[in-house]
Structure 1
């Protein structure tokens, strides 16, 4: 990875756009914007490496080109940056924004040109100025007698105040409760509130016993490690079926599950049937191995003859419509 590790923006890009990313890196650093970029040519990076790149950055610059799907590593970096509350600045070198970035202002760099001054100045403001120098220690005074006299006066005043409080019967004022924690001023955004316990996942919609569409939309909250992912494991209970149908829950196959996650479950063509749908938590690497061992057809789903281990949330639903997904 090129560049410093703190107080910077991180440039993420598809492997095919590495040449442009390198020119952009040089352009930004020359303009006084500290930057880093990925140098790997692989489509996917380990979750630990993605976190190492994104977490210390103050903003993410996403190089994108219309018609090209974002590489899995770029999606992972975008998801983590969004989860951490980092600024995300898409830079289009041609065409429209990708769907996961379409809600953000898009900077135009069509024709592989460098971004304009407004874009660069915005990044400069996000990164901020150089760290302030450590304040020099004050020079020790040549004469110490005035300071000693002042300290003695303070001690006398404090003693008088203490005796006055005791005479009035007031309780002594002790030190602050050491168990009370004071948030550290890290400069990072506050963590999302109302999350479940660490390692837990909840389903917020649909409600239990709800009547749902053929393609059931599921939302929930999660508090997982970045290397963990979630899957849906669905079993038909009426009429009963021994098979479990498994799909990834949302766009998190490589981990980085959003605090507010969402996904879809396909229930089939027949209305009136009831299903149990479980959310299963796995390490991303373990999930990939499990899915590869059980996938069917074109790999859009997997089938198991038993419920996968790791279920943490559950909802029972009935299919009420056969509308197109």
Structure 2
């Protein structure tokens, strides 16, 4: 059975709170509403109450909405709360950047249309419910994985065969980020001996520019239980760096505390190099095509223009945007 969803309003103006509460009660009467005109009190409510969504006014004297958002998202008890920042004017790129970096999920500026405001709140609540269900599924999956791991441990030969022959590099880190286990594929990929790795800080193997990223995101894996397709650059014993894509899950003690991570990664160095070469090749072709005196165009299966160079624009007397997606090849020629 779905739990009743909750929403927190934090605005230093009581009139604004009254308007928002009235609007939400009218259109979403099933919501459990909390409201305060003090940012510090809002932070306490978010930390003590399982708030699903928070609407925060950006301009508040005690603490602005961006800072409040950052603190809510930084607290393990409220990090999953969906946050909408409410501004008295259209958001500037700088404000949006600050809000996004703080963890904001959406921006709404006053004055707003009621129908759009309610629609956005519904989207946030719907997304939050889906994420909660996914986290619960992942937690259940994690418990099943742990149970299966226990069964594998009882059969040392079977477990060891799986461990030794795994095609992907595997590593396990403790709560401090130290390596407590790696498989042969890990050692083979990076050229190290096992005694050179076990007990070492995983961050010491990363490219210096990515160490801060790891320090910031590893606690997220411990708290949220999973990460997927995280890009890193990791140092080979010979000194060069490999591009890797990492996926991880967290293992927990029976009391729910973090035990260790279970991560695998694949070497995507060649894939990334090919992608970069393809982008360079495409850019070279574009430069050649744009500066060619020949007519160069591209059409889709229906004959609709998808690309034209400058020569085509000059000959037809039409701009590229007038042709691409609007004109067919046969439109430009006499029957």
**TM-score of the superposition, structure 2-length normalised?**
0.34
Higher strand share: 1
Higher relative contact order (CA 8 A, sep 6+): 1
Higher helix share: 2
